[in-house]
Structure formats: structure tokens, C-alpha cells
Amino acid sequence: MKPTDPLVELQGSERKIPAEAVYVGPVEPGERIEVSVYLRPRKSLATNLMPSGAPRRMTRKSYAEEYGARSEHVAGVESFAKAHGLLVVESDPTKRRVVLAGSASAVAEAFGVELGRYKLAGQAFRGRRGAIKIPAGLADVIQSVHGLDDRRQANPHVRFRPHTDPGTAVYTPPQVAGLYDFPEDGDGTGQCIGLIELGGGFVQADLDAYFSQLELPSPRVTAFSVDGGGNSPGDSDDVEVMLDIEVAGGVAPGANIVVYFAPNSDRGFIDAITDAVFDTVNHLSVISISWGGAESSWTTQSLQAMNQAIQAGGALGITICVASGDDGSRDLTSDGLAHVDFPASSPFSLGCGGTTLLSANGEISSETAWSQNGATGGGISDAFDLPSWQQQANIPPSANPGGRVGRGVPDVAAVADPDTGYLIRVDGVEGVVGGTSAAAPLWAGLIALINEQLVDPVGFINPNLYQNLIVQADVTRDIVEGNNGAYFAGLGWDACTGLGSPDGEDCMAALIY
């Protein structure tokens, strides 16, 4: 591979600089930059789906042999790197990822881009515009390139308020688990829950104090660094991290929890999910993701790369629970259209919406779609087609012009309204937290409890959940009231709460047998 080989545009890699961003100046030529280059699989990942839509259960070895990158493709990228004076930091055929590093000037020349420094909403980032370019000889080898642009990619789906209003409903995670009839035969022992975090951190003393207050043992929590990210408590993102740990651990205190910390960029997010899915040390059975952004904020190559990482997780027997967003059907956009949040909209995610939950005497008295002080995300995907397992769920047309019928989001729901929220401890302070960020780790905890009863984890559960809906098995609590702006809750699946909130014991019975 020679530096003089003709370059072609990498399909789906186009980026724009937001009009409101301020140009600061060029990137320093000697700045060190790392990029993650994802390669095409040996054969189309679509062949990994059975007719029902459920992926085959595979080992990591069989996945690598069938869907990993070809050795000659890895060698081709390594040759390209050498020709441009770039260092090969990592080559992993199973992950289909080659990590390259070099000076900003060398990396920009290698990929045919111009890099600049910008500021947007008080945040500085390295940005690019237009498409990435790669040698024509690697056009059928390289699928995506991430890390040239490091702008903030995702938002935490969490809402925090001080614990000061005695008239507001507040629940601990075990209380929520009790209201939803979670299985009581285990505590998640033997399971490992992965959490994806793009900032913030946890303090062990806070966790110990919190779980002691709940009269539960503190779960074993381990931090895993991705792309230089780490456990760094001390900012507002701590709320997200502590919420995820305390909800998942409050439901399944016997499970181990691994927190994958990565920078908040498309590269960091994709690499974190990839590393979690292919983690051969911790062997996760469930992953919870509480971060995301409207589909329109992602490049096509990033949507594809992350979707394939989530798909690989399903194939390997990992259930991936993802928050659907906290800003209703517009999802923090300003174009007047309805949007769904990604990665909740991945067909291989268990998208988790939010509800408002009231109870009396240990029983649920009412539950509606969350629509005040925020609202549950949900709607119809513009990026992903209708999956086979949603064909009979009466997915409605999109509220946008054209009425597209695509992947419906979310799949399930749980309490997320901060006004009927979770009691959480963050940086020494107790508060009440809501957001679909709470629904995702709650469902992850339930899956861990179910997996504890099994030899093999349940894995990608969406087809089974929808099949049980079709045969009218009572595995979820149907939510029929409320809205998220463009969509309304109603009988059966809806674009606010999906199939509904969990009935834990019935979910376990449906997924085990």
C-alpha cells in the first residue's frame, strides 16, 4: 500500500460542523490522535439471524471464525498504516478493529481530511467536515473510521432533584422490584452486568453507604478503561454512573458489575460497546446503556458500526438494555419532527421507555406513560426497518411526513418519572433520580435474576417478548394512558412504553420455558 494510491470517499462517513460552532484554529500538527478502524466481516452479519429474528447463540471463537475480519484485510490496513508513518496500537480480528495512532498531520493526510478546533456550547472539540477518504484498494476492506472527530456524541438520559419534597413518591430499587413482582429466588449471583458510561465516576464509600442503608451487600464493582476513559468522579455525569450502579445493584446485589468508561465521542461509545461484548475476562450476560442521541446526530457509518456491535452481543448471548430518551418524541432536536434515540433504536437493543408509577400498600395503583418534567422517548426509526418480530405488533406509521413504518421504539418500559423516582446517593448527597436511564438498569437487573436460574443466558429476548404478546401471554403490564408528544399510549404496543412495564415472575416464566 503506497501513500500515492488514489483515495476514495468512505461511504457514510460524511460529517458537518454545526452552524453555531465557532472555529478556534487548526489542530496542532504534532498532536497525537488515535483512530479505530472497523473492517468488514467475513460475511454479512444479516446471515446471523434465524427466520424468527433471534440470533444464533455463538461462542466468541465461532463468531470470530464466521464473522471476524480476514487476516489479509488486517494486514492490508497495517500496511496502509506503515506507509503513512502510523503506529498500529491494536489489531483484533474478532472485534474487526485495528487501532492506529500518529501525529495529527500524519493522520489527517492518511485519511484525506482537514482537522480544526471548534467550540460549541462552551465545549471544545476537534472536528472535520465532509467524508473520510481511504485508498481505493481498501474500499472493500474498511467499513468505518472513528476518532478523527471527537465532539460530544451522546447525552445521559437522567434527571436529578434533591430529596426535599415529602409529597412526591420516592422508591428504592428493591421497592420497585417488589412492585413489579421480580423473582425472589436469587440475587444475581454468578451473573455479570456491564454498564457503558461516557463520563463521571463512582465513589466506593458512597456505594457502601447506599447499600448499607438498603440492608444489602455492596455489589462488586470494577472499572474498565476504554480509549483512555476512566472512573473520574467529580462532575454532573456522576449522577448517571451512580444511578446505573445503584439500580442494577439494588435489584441484583449478588451480580458483579463492570463499568466501561470511555470518552463521550462516537469512537469512545462504539469501542466501549465492542469491548464489553467481546470481554473474555468478565463474560457479561447483560449490558445496560443509559446514553444516546437522536438518530439524526449520528453518521451512517457510526450507526452501522454500533448496531453491528450490539448485534454481536445478541449473537453471543448478551441482552443489551438501552434507555429510549427523556425528551419525548422530539429527542432534543429543534426541527419540529419526531425522532427516536440511538442506540435504543437498534433492532438488537431492548429499548426501555419510561412511566409514571404510583403505589399504595405495596401494590401499583396507577402507571402511565411519563409525560411531565420530561417525557419518555419513543417513536418510529428513520434508520432501521421494521424487524420481523415486530411485524404483528401493529407498529403505526411515523408521525413525520411520509408515514414511514420502521423499527418501533421502545420495546418495554419501567418507572422513570423523576416525580415518582428512585432514591439514589451521589457524591455524598441523597437525591431522587428519574429518566429512562433508570429503566434500562432496572431491566438489566431483572435479566440477571432470570439468567441466574439458567445454564445459558436468555440473550436477545425481543423475538420471545413479542411472540408472547402475540399469543396474549401476560408477561408485561400494558400501559394505556399518557403520551410523549407525537405518540400516545394505548392497548398493545405503543411508541411511548412499548409492550409495557415488567411483570417479573411472568417474564421469567416466558423466557425460561
Tens digit of pLDDT for each residue in 162-189?
Answer: 776 665 789 999 999 999 999 999 999 9
Q: Of 3, 67, 72, nearest to 309 (Cα)?
A: 67
Q: Given a cut of 50, is residue 51 above it in pLDDT?
A: no
From the CB of residue 12, how many other CB atoms can be counted at a distance below 10 Å?
A: 16
Tens digit of pLDDT for each residue in 83-140?
Answer: 999 999 999 999 999 999 999 999 999 999 999 999 999 999 999 999 999 999 999 9
The confidence band for 159, taking pLDDT boundaries of 50, 70 and 90, is confident
Average pLDDT over residues 235-241: 96
Average pLDDT over residues 434-439: 97
Residue 202 CA to residue 222 CA, distance in Å, equals: 10
Q: Reduce the DSSP state of residue 56 to 3 states and report it.
A: coil
Q: Given a cut of 50, is residue 50 above it in pLDDT?
A: no
Element (DSSP H or E) covering residue 159: strand 159-162
Please report the pLDDT score of residue 165 as a whole number: 63
Catalytic pick from 324, 346, 371, 437? 437
Q: What is the DSSP string of 386-425?
A: PPGGGTTTTPPPPSSTT---EEEE-SEEEE--TTEEEEEE
The reply to whether 437 belongs to the active site is: yes
Catalytic pick from 150, 197, 238, 244? 244
The reply to whether 244 belongs to the active site is: yes
For the chain, list the domains and their CATH numbers. Answer: 7-146 (no CATH), 155-512 (3.40.50.200)
Q: What is the DSSP string of 446-502?
A: HHHHHHHTSSS-----HHHHHHHHHTT---EE---S-B-SS-B--SSSBTTTBT-EE
Contact status, residue 476 vs residue 505, Cβ threshold 8 Å: no
Please report the pLDDT score of residue 352 as a whole number: 98
H-only helix segments in 252-368: 266-277, 300-315
Handedness of CA 268, 24, 111, 101 (dihedral sign): negative
The rounded mean pLDDT for the chain is 94
Q: Reduce the DSSP state of residue 125 to 3 states and report it.
A: strand
Q: Of 255, 206, 259, nearest to 231 (Cα)?
A: 259
Q: Is the pTM of this model over 0.95?
A: yes
Average pLDDT over residues 252-263: 98
Q: Dig out the grid coordinates for 463 from the structure.
A: 423475538
Tens digit of pLDDT for each residue in 447-488?
Answer: 999 999 998 999 999 998 998 765 556 789 999 999 999 999
Contact status, residue 55 vs residue 170, Cβ threshold 8 Å: no
Residue 327 CA to residue 340 CA, distance in Å, equals: 10
Strand partners, 156: 291
Q: Dig out the grid coordinates for 400 from the structure.
A: 413525520
Catalytic pick from 240, 367, 419, 452? 240
Residue 40 CA to residue 85 CA, distance in Å, equals: 23
Residue 72 CA to residue 42 CA, distance in Å, equals: 11
